[in-house]
């Protein structure tokens, strides 16, 4: 009889436990099914010169970062100084995928904030983004010499992730 009145409390305790565990988790860490799979191929015009085409196979033979960004994305601006610093350190080439953006804005953005990219592919309609399972901008992929995706970062890069995860991984893949 008395137990019945404890039921709401019991339900709440269960919910609270899950909420507590949930706090420890990062909702952005969605595992990508593409990890350890070949990076989807693409063929897109570059931002610098619309007549030039950039494909996935251009980068075969080197370890590279593929950074998905857009001029409309606030978090991209947050991580941008890190990318610029990384490109100056000359550790790994960074290629960009300009996602659902327009050329003028994107170019303006790079002029304003600096261009860390060796080259930027323009994915205006976001089709390549779909192939890569882009979940939210920005995202960064680590792709190895054979064109296999090794790591995916959803959301902006941080110094911590770069130092402790991406750079060691790049060094290891570079051999």
Partner 1 sequence: MIPEIGHFALMLALCLTLVQGTLPIIGAQRNIPNWIALAKPVAQGQFVFIGLAFFSLMYAFVAHDYSVLYVAEHSNSDLPLPYRMAAVWGGHEGSLLLWAFILSIWMLAVTLFSRRLPADMVARVLGVMGLVSMGFLLFMLTTSDPFERLIPAAVDGQDLNPLLQDPGLTMHPPMLYMGYVGFSVAFSFAIAALLSGKLDAAWARWSRPWTTVAWMFLTVGIAAGSWWSYYELGWGGWWFWDPVENASFMPWLMGTALLHSLAVTEKRGSFKSWTVLLAIFAFSLSLLGTFLVRSGVLTSVHAFATDPRRGLFILAFLVVVVGGSLILYAIRAPKVGLGGRFQLVSKETLLLCNNVLFVVAAGSVLLGTLYPLVLDAMGLGKLSVGPPYFDFVFAILMAPMVFLMGLGPIARWKKASLPDLAVRLRWAFVISVVTALVVPFIMGRWSPLTSLGLLLAFWLITTIFYNLWSKIKRNPDAPWRELARLPRSYYAMQVAHLGVAVFVIGVTMVKSYEVEEDRSMAVGDTAVVKGYTFRFDGVVDRKGPNYTAREGFIHVSDKNGDEVTILHPEKRIYEEQANPTTEASIYPGLFRDIYASLGEPLDNGGWSVRIYYKPFVRWIWFGCFIMAFGGLLALTDRRYRFAIRQQPAVGEATDGSRDAPKGAPSLAMESKH
Contacts with partner 1 by CB under 8 A lie at: 1-2, 5-6, 8-9, 12-13, 15-16, 18-25, 27-31, 71-72, 74, 77, 100, 102, 105, 109, 124-125, 136
When the beta carbons of 29 and 89 are compared against partner 1, the nearer one is 29
Q: How far apart are CA 50 and CA 53, in angstroms?
A: 7
To partner 1, the closest distance from the beta carbon of 89 in angstroms equals: 26
When the beta carbons of 78 and 93 are compared against partner 1, the nearer one is 78
Please name the residue ranges forming H helices in the chain: 3-24, 74-89, 103-113, 127-131, 159-161, 167-174
To partner 1, the closest distance from the beta carbon of 27 in angstroms equals: 5
SS3 2: coil
Task: Dump the DSSP string for 13-38.
Answer: HHHHHHHHHHHHS-TT-PPPTTTTSB
When the beta carbons of 33 and 175 are compared against partner 1, the nearer one is 33
To partner 1, the closest distance from the beta carbon of 12 in angstroms equals: 6
C-beta separation of 68 from 134 below 8 A: yes
Can you count the helices (H) and strands (E) in the chain?
Answer: 6, 7
When the beta carbons of 8 and 175 are compared against partner 1, the nearer one is 8
When the beta carbons of 64 and 151 are compared against partner 1, the nearer one is 151
To partner 1, the closest distance from the beta carbon of 29 in angstroms equals: 7
From the list 152, 161, 148, the residue with the least C-alpha distance to 134 is 152
To partner 1, the closest distance from the beta carbon of 164 in angstroms equals: 18
Taking the CB of residue 9, how many other CB atoms lie within 10 A of it? 9
């Amino acid at each position: 009889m008395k137990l019945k009145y404890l039921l709401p409390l019991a339900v709440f305790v269960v919910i609270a436990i899950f909420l507590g565990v949930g706090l420890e988790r990062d909702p952005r860490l969605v595992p990508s099914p593409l990890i350890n799979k070949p990076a989807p191929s693409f063929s897109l015009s570059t931002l610098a010169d619309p007549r030039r085409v950039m494909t996935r196979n251009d980068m075969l033979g080197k370890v590279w970062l593929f950074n998905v960004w857009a001029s409309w994305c606030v978090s991209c601006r947050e991580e941008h100084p890190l990318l610029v610093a990384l490109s100056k350190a000359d550790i790994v080439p960074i290629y960009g995928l300009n996602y659902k953006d327009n050329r003028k804005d994107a170019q303006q953005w790079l002029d304003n904030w600096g261009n860390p990219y060796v080259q930027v592919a323009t994915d205006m309609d976001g089709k390549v983004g779909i192939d890569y399972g882009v979940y939210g901008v920005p995202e960064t992929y680590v792709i190895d010499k054979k064109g296999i995706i090794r790591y995916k970062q959803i959301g902006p890069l941080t110094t911590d992730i770069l130092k402790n995860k991406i750079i060691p991984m790049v060094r290891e893949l570079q051999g």
